[in-house]
Chains A and B, each alone.
Chain A
Amino acid sequence: MNYPFPRLETLQGSMETWETPALRHVYLGRIRTPLMDLLDRFLGRYTHQIESLVLRPFDTHSPHLFNLHYGFWDQFTELRLLGLDNGTLEHKEWSGWSVVPPPTHPCRYLVCRINTSVGRTVDKVHSISTWHDGVRLVAGHTDWDKYFVVKKDPDSSITSMESNYGVLPEF
């Protein structure tokens, strides 16, 4: 899909000079540094306003980069969507599986970006997930206009939710 406003803007130098007051839905790609460093040097200033956070590593086999610390959910008070690669979510050792968002937290979507088979990945991630039923697993391919909201039914069936412009349904 061709997006109507493919604006490119280079922001270099100290991030403290950035003016991003409306930073609420954020995608960070090709990351080489751990989440804690990102928080210390950039994201920490926006944790109380970010509603969506997608984190993708430079190396898809680096799940440790995005280990969640205890206090993560208290820090990201407005976070409704957390997105990670399947390479991260498929690891049982990913710390996020033990840092569960409280049921009262606004987080409603755990997005798994998938490069391979949707069914195989969803089965694996779904079987590992320790998060409460209020958080829906969403599987997305490179093309974000087509994604799958996973139903937590006993039969683990997947509901295809194709949507224009990749707008997630509200629950």
Chain B
Amino acid sequence: MGDSENGPIAFHTFYRFVWDERAQEGSPDLSFVMKAREGVS
């Protein structure tokens, strides 16, 4: 999942990251939360 190389592009295989809301307070680093790899919604 998510590691195909040059095969058909399938949305459900995307690695999905969303911004980590908790990182907004005082964290200088860029933080995401990795969510379900299989969903892009």
Contact = CB atoms under 8 A, between A and B. Distances in A.
> Is the contact region of chain A dominated by helix, strand, or loop, or is it mixed?
loop
B18 to A, nearest CB: 4
Contacts of B36: 3, 5-8
Interface in B14-37: 14-24, 29-37
Given A9-B34, A28-B32, A29-B17, A143 B41 contact: yes
- Report whether over half of chain B's contact residues are helix, strand or loop; otherwise say mixed: loop
Contacts, number: 122
Contacts of A10: 20, 33-34
Q: How large is the interface on A (under 10, 10 to 19, 20 to 34, 35 or more residues)?
A: 35 or more
Given A5-B36, A6-B36, A6-B39, A13 B15 contact: no
Interface centre among B8, B9, B29 (most CB of A within 10 A): B9
Contact of A167 (B9, B31, B32, B35): B9
A128 interface: no
Contact of A37 (B6, B10, B30, B31): B30
Nearest to B2: A25
Interface of A: 3-15, 20, 22-33, 37-38, 41-42, 51-52, 54, 58, 80-81, 109, 140, 142-144, 165-170
Interface of B: 1-6, 8-24, 29-41
